[in-house]
Structure 1
Amino acid sequence: MNLRVWGASLLLVASAAPAASPIQPGLWEMTTKIDTISMPGAPPAMAAAMRRPKTIRTCITAEQAAQGPRGIQQADKSCKIGRYDWAGGKYVAEIVCSRPTGTMTTRSTGTYTPTSFNSKSQMSSTGQMKMAMTMTASGRRVGLCKR
């Protein structure tokens, strides 16, 4: 399972807001941290490397922000949004990514504003690389996108 893909999927779930209360477009900085991880048969160094916090910056366009999660999630066609409930600055979300190598399911809960979010997630995968983990993510809008 491509670890960048699951990380991007989590960030997409965590950073998107519904059309009724859109996130602000612009440059967003998002950080993920794996709190617990279980990867049977994997070298201990692999899990240790994955536990290091990771920060990315990404540009969310006005079009993506207006479409909410479905507009942003389009980057990975193997992922489908399941449950997606937003109200009063809180959310619950589920995303399932199905590939020939296995299936990854991520369930997240969190809080959001138009310029920030915080989330907690549980991820499990089946197939070639079985794993389970819990993680936290946070993000904030840091400015305009550079063209």
Structure 2
Amino acid sequence: MRTAMRIVLVSAILLNAATCAAADKMKPGLWEMTTKSDAMKAMPKIPPEQLEKMKQMGIKMPDMQNGAMVSKVCLTKEMVDQEKPPTGGREQHCQNKSFNRSGNTYTAEMVCDSPDMKGTGIVKGSMTPDSVNSVYDFKGVSHGKPIDHHMETTGKWLGGDCGTTKPFTMPPKK
């Protein structure tokens, strides 16, 4: 379970990072991202007591609804003004190798190269100022086991005020 959850969460972070990179096309503010994948459907449900313990330890788990992970993401003006997607998988040694945009569509390639995870992911999507849609496919190896992971994400802009949702940490610009 831990490996599957880790794969899904890292993939979701990478996908959301690439999805959030809609540069000058997306509005800054609070976004709701809904991610669906076969791996999430197969994950056992975490008991409420365990979720509460995780929360007390400072681990914030996204909401799971009908086999989908729903999370709130705060995008600052700086984030949406970047020309490249932020790197969300630094802890897994994953990097964005390319990002191409044409009109309201985009593609990006992510490469992971660490002892725990090696492989390549491709994300393709479209965006408007207040919505995004992405399809992500990753093939590789995690902890010595092959991975062939497919994920779909949709996002909608909720408003300009992020409230208590903090922006994720951006890597320094190169």
Answer with 1 or 2: which has the greater Rg: 2
Q: 1:48 aligns with which of 42, 48, 62?
A: 42
| Contact 1:108–1:119 (8 Å) recurs in 2 | yes
- Percent same amino acid among aligned pairs? 28
TM-score (norm 1): 0.78
Q: Does 1:137 align with 2:140?
A: no
Aligned length, in residue pairs: 134
Q: Which residue pairs with 1:26 in the alignment?
A: 29
What CA distance in whole angstroms lies between the structure 2 residues aligned with 1:116 and 1:47? 24
Structure 1 runs (4+) deviating above 4 angstroms are none
Alignment of structure 1 residues 7-86 onto 2, 5 Å: 7-18=12-23, 21-34=24-37, 36=38, 48-49=42-43, 52-70=67-85, 72-73=86-87, 75-77=88-90, 78-86=93-101
Q: Match of 1:89, as an amino acid?
A: N
Deviations 1:8-59 (A, max 9, x none): 11111122213xx34211011101111x56xxxxxxxx86128921110011
Work out whether residues 41 and 67 of structure 2, in 8 Å CA contact, stay in contact via their aligned partners in 1: no
Unaligned ranges ≥5, structure 1: 38-45
> Which residue identity lines up with residue 132 of structure 1 in the other structure?
D
1:146 is paired with a residue whose SS is coil
Question: Which amino acid in structure 1 is aligned with residue 20 of structure 2?
Answer: S
What is the CA deviation profile of residues 63-100 of structure 1, one whole-angstrom value per residue up to 9, with x for unaligned ones?
11111444x32x43222112211011111111112222
Distance 1:117 1:136 in 2: 11
Give the aligned residue type for 2:157. Answer: R
Contact between 2:110 and 2:121, CA under 8 Å: does it hold in 1? yes
User: Please, what TM-score do these two structures have when normalized by structure 2?
Assistant: 0.67
Q: 1:97 to 1:132 in 2, by over 3 A?
A: same
Q: Could you say what the CA RMSD is over the residues aligned between the two structures, in angstroms? A: 2.3
